[in-house]
Structure 1
């Protein structure tokens, strides 16, 4: 969502030059931030990341309809470099490169069968792709998707252990102000539960961790920069419960974090890897941030 971010972007540059502020909550352990730079025309605007089980292979999605694989090189707990692979344009069901509003690709799921799903914000929808550079298979769109805010639809996308998809709008809300969570079970979309919106933070990414819990990355933009928060829930047929706030960053500690992947490292510890959207502006940076999470 770009509306309202202009002042935050300018302040983010100034705050990035200052020492990092302490996080407000410390259930999660901050590990490292790595600034990833590139000169390729497609580089930037990263809105989603999926980390492989080895912690080094990643798939990254840009909000300008570009997807690529990359390799993370690590020195212990720290990321030392990122080696990008070949970039592919995200295409329509008619094999046309997506551009403009219809190409606002935001959320990403890499399925166990190697296919992947992308959520779109400009025109609210979810599409399946059998391979990188392949054709879109757009999932059915319920009427509720027609009424999403133009710049506030589906940034977050996650898949549970059953292969069911979950998505939620960034800013479009139900009448009571809660965040509707939509689930695709392979046949139909249902609104399975709602999450409370707290403190003006908006959901920008989601993932089911290897522990089976639902993790949601949220962002808040203000005149002094960005804040980020990570929450998680237990999800059952009855809904979402046992909410936890794992971290909530101070203003300017991180850039515009929009992508989230939760995985286990070689020591069996839960880890959250996040990536920032630099909006293709020199004032911002592409940042990969990692936290160790409690079980």
Structure 2
């Protein structure tokens, strides 16, 4: 298995913090068309959709399948909301300080730097039974570091499934700091993480297709690949050509200076279109209300949607 940060350190020439390229959000290009197939019924209720503006701020919109008056706007709420367990939940991240230590070696002298970790939760905002908060990503325990910066990014949501990337920069008084990354898919209905990377139907073919690209990119960057075999590190939902598609990220080890910023330090990655695993299948249909919203709101980037359960009829 490829570790989050490989231990090999060839090619290390700089003590500066490594630059990591942010995971891009794909542009929304969605056609308005009926949803067909076994999951069409899921697209007929009230839908929560969330989107990011150009400045990065997120808002949620409640879309009804019932006809609305001309010129009316969807109700908007700041933040990211999803529907799960018959309730509405808001995605919440909170920064927490952690202690750090100074560097006091013969060749390295530096005061203690910033230590920051992130706690990510889902908080219930509507009535319902069960717990009121789900701890999705707990803050990591980090000791004896001079600087720590830990972040959690919600990349996309499909129904109750949250696709999340976790990143930690840590400097411990060595030649340079390192970034480590992790990928999580959280099922808000079940209140636990689910493994999707081991269930990709085309995993061997993806890795085989990625190997020549990884080798060519490494040579262009000026260094060889490491000894660890490639492995799939992320599965990313994206909108492309009017449809929801998936990209798998395939990662292998490399020298530090050859890192491309798509994953941890000491790694290089490529992204290839992939078939989604069965656990994702119930949520891949694009509801017509979401398609229409995307068509009419090209100034925002859709981050996902979920369907609210209809209220029982009154007696």
- Under TM normalisation by the shorter chain, which class is it? 0.3 to 0.5
Structure having greater relative contact order (Cα 8 Å, sep ≥ 6) = 2
- Structure ranking higher in helix proportion: 2
Q: TM-score, normalised by structure 1?
A: 0.35
- Structure ranking higher in strand proportion: 1
Q: TM-score, normalised by structure 2?
A: 0.33
Q: Which has the larger radius of gyration?
A: 2
